[in-house]
Amino acid sequence: MALTTQQLIQWKQQGRQIVALTAWDYAIAQLLDLAGVDLILVGDSMAVVLGYETTLPITLEEMLYHAKAVRRGVKRALIVVDLPFLTYQESIQQAINSAGRALKEAGAQAVKLEGGYPAMIETITRLVQAGIPVMGHVGLTPQSVHQIGLRQQGKTETTRERILQEAIALEQAGVFSIVLEHIPADLALQITQKLSIPTIGIGAGPHCDGQVLVTSDVIGLSEKHPPFAKVYTNLRDTITKAVQDYSVEVRERKFPE
């Protein structure tokens, strides 16, 4: 039976950690689900898997195409789809249309939006009122890469207070969970203790209610990975070696036997 947003909130109350990873196709999604991952994020980080340098170029159509494939591979995990850059910032109506398509066409159970500034709070409030579950995202927000870069956020008292207040405002707007990305561990702890909804950390230390990483980093498919990621296996080497062995056998007429 599929997990729900309410179950994740209950898990926070019970002190149960939430395991989250990203997926971009049927095969990976199926494996993550079978392995017991709780939340699968169809993240716009998939842009890098598709060969883009940042998350900005990826389109809603590309996100929905891959989200549909993920949906077909998942039976248990909660599926959350990132809304890509400029598919929700122009107007509330645009956000409702984009988020609605993620649920209606791709079968997602929720969407994720970046930022906690006043206009975004208004947008999220309207989405939740429309019956669309929303996950928030504060700290390092990759869609703002040209504005804030990819460095750790929340290092100064001013930025710490802003991130904390954004998280509080997001909870009040009705999000069921918040991603805390690349912020100091003590700030993540403060936010986690302050909120009644689960925090999901990525580069935010061990005190969050759950953790998420980009799956291509975890399995060693990425050319480079962020300093806070942990590589549990190296599929780049494994795949390269397998293809090299296959190539040798074909050229030496050893395959097929």
Instruction: Report pLDDT digits (tens) over 102-152.
Output: 999 999 999 999 999 999 999 999 999 999 999 999 999 999 988 888 899
Q: Which of 40, 236, 41, 45 is nearest to 150 (CA)?
A: 45
**Within a domain: residue 256?**
no
What range defines the domain where residue 102 resides?
Answer: 5-251
Mean pLDDT, residues 36-60: 95
Task: State how many domains the chain has.
Answer: 1
The pLDDT > 70 percentage for the chain reads: 100
pLDDT tens digit string along 196-246? 999 999 999 999 999 999 999 999 999 888 999 999 999 999 999 999 999
The annotation status of 245 as a binding-site residue, yes or no, is: no
CA 62 centroid distance within chain: 16
The annotation status of 45 as a binding-site residue, yes or no, is: yes
**Within a domain: residue 217?**
yes
| pLDDT reported for residue 251 | 98
**Within a domain: residue 42?**
yes
**Within a domain: residue 257?**
no
Active site residues: 181
What pTM value is reported for the model? 0.96
Q: What is the CATH number of the domain that holds 14?
A: 3.20.20.60
**Within a domain: residue 231?**
yes
DSSP code string of 8-34? HHHHHHHT--EEEEE--SHHHHHHHHH
Mean pLDDT, residues 9-36: 98
The annotation status of 209 as a binding-site residue, yes or no, is: no
